[in-house]
Amino acid sequence: MPDWSALVHRHLASAHLDERRRREIGAELAAHIEDAYDGALRRGCTEAQAVACAMEQVPDWGALAVAVERSTDEDSIMTRQALTVLLPGTTMLLTAAAGLSLVVYAMPAERWLDPRWQVHAFAAGLTFLFYLVLGAIGAAWSRHVGGSPGERLAAGVFPLVLHLAVAGPAVGADMLYALSHGMRGQNLQINIIKMVLILLVGPGAALLLGGLPFARKSAGLDAR
């Protein structure tokens, strides 16, 4: 009986794979070919016919090597992005959601209606600082696990997804409310601009500023 493992290894030698992945794919493919070979023998085929039947399982070894390499690259990219973008970014997004929920439920109603600009300025400053820290932590986390500058920045600004999800319905509801109360033209535009500034521009700028220092290339870390 042919050495199917050696045959598979020889035909897939051109594929750029790490040794662990090469062994896994080689063992699985060799077992599949051997099953076809054994099945042909059980059906009464000669040795030569059984070998031919087994080899028919892979009509184009070159195409298979390319497909295996491409599949491995795609898996590697997905795994990398999960570690460098999705994991830190989602964690910061959940932290932002928890922080906002805590503020909404803990803040007395009269505070939201306080006419003093100092109160609102103080709240805006704390919120900006909170998002600045979130952006920095997300980008630093991504850098720590080997993220590229772009991936670090994406992880840092990822919590903005939460605001994009909130901003659309909020702006739409605000427009309907304004229109139902007779607000038109410039006043309506100013109202929408305020909503966009509060829900998107402010948090986005804070996240970006927090993440930028960690998105720069570092000779020591990027060389790893």
For 80-129, what is each residue's pLDDT tens digit? 778 888 899 999 989 988 887 887 777 776 666 677 777 778 878 888 99
Q: Which residue type occupies 163?
A: H
Query: What is the token pair recorded at 69?
Result: 């390499």
Q: Which residue has the tokens 């803990």?
A: 106
CA distance 20 to 36: 25
Which residues are within 8 A (CB) of 210 and not within 5 positions of it... i.e. 6 or more apart? 131, 132, 133, 134, 135, 136, 137, 138, 139, 156
Please report, in angstroms and rounded to a whole number, the separation of the first and last CA atoms in the chain: 46
In terms of Cα–Cα distance, which of 120, 140, 110 is closest to 197?
A: 120
Scanning 43-116, the segments in alpha helix (DSSP H) are: 47-55, 61-81, 87-106, 109-112
pTM, entire model: 0.56
For residue range 157-192, list pLDDT tens digits in order.
999 887 777 766 766 666 666 666 665 544 555 556
CA torsion through residues 30, 76, 66, 222, sign: negative
